[in-house]
Copies of this chain bind each other. A is one copy, B any other.
Amino acid sequence: MSLKLYELVGTDAARPFSPYCWRTRMALAHKGLSAQSLPWRFTEKSAIAPHGSEKVPVLLHHDRPVVDSWTIATYLEDNFPDRPSLFGGEGGRAMARMVNAFGDIVIVGGIFPLIVADIPNNLAEADAAYFRKSREARFGGKSLEQVMAGRDSGVVAFRKSLEVMRQTLKKQPYLSGSTPNYADYIVFGGFQWARVVSPFRLLEADDPIYAWREKLLDAFDGMARTSPGHEV
Query: Measured between C-beta atoms, what is the minimum distance from A157 to chain B in Å?
Result: 13
Question: A136 CA to B87 CA in the complex, in Å?
Answer: 43
Say yes or no: A98-B177 contact (C-beta < 8 A), given A88-B90, A91-B92: no
Question: A176 CA to B94 CA in the complex, in Å?
Answer: 5
Specify which chain B residues have a CB less than 8 angstroms from the CB of A164 in the assembled complex.
98, 101-102, 105-106
Specify which chain B residues have a CB less than 8 angstroms from the CB of A177 in the assembled complex.
90-91, 93-94, 97
Judge whether A47 is part of the interface by a CB distance below 8 angstroms: no
| Residues from 136 to 185 in A contacting B, C-beta threshold 8 Å | 163-165, 167-168, 171-172, 174-178, 181, 183
Query: Measured between C-beta atoms, what is the minimum distance from A96 to chain B in Å?
Result: 6
Question: A100 CA to B172 CA in the complex, in Å?
Answer: 13
What copy number does this chain have within its complex? 2
Say yes or no: A90-B90 contact (C-beta < 8 A), given A98-B164, A105-B163, A183-B95: no
Specify which chain B residues have a CB less than 8 angstroms from the CB of A52 in the assembled complex.
none
Is B91 touching A176 in the complex (CB atoms < 8 A)? yes
Judge whether A89 is part of the interface by a CB distance below 8 angstroms: yes
Question: A165 CA to B94 CA in the complex, in Å?
Answer: 13
Is B105 touching A167 in the complex (CB atoms < 8 A)? yes
| Residues from 88 to 145 in A contacting B, C-beta threshold 8 Å | 88-102, 104-106
Q: A95: which of B96, B101, B105, B167 is its contact (CB, 8 Å)?
A: B96
What is A's interface to B at a CB cutoff of 8 Å? 85, 87-102, 104-106, 163-165, 167-168, 171-172, 174-178, 181, 183
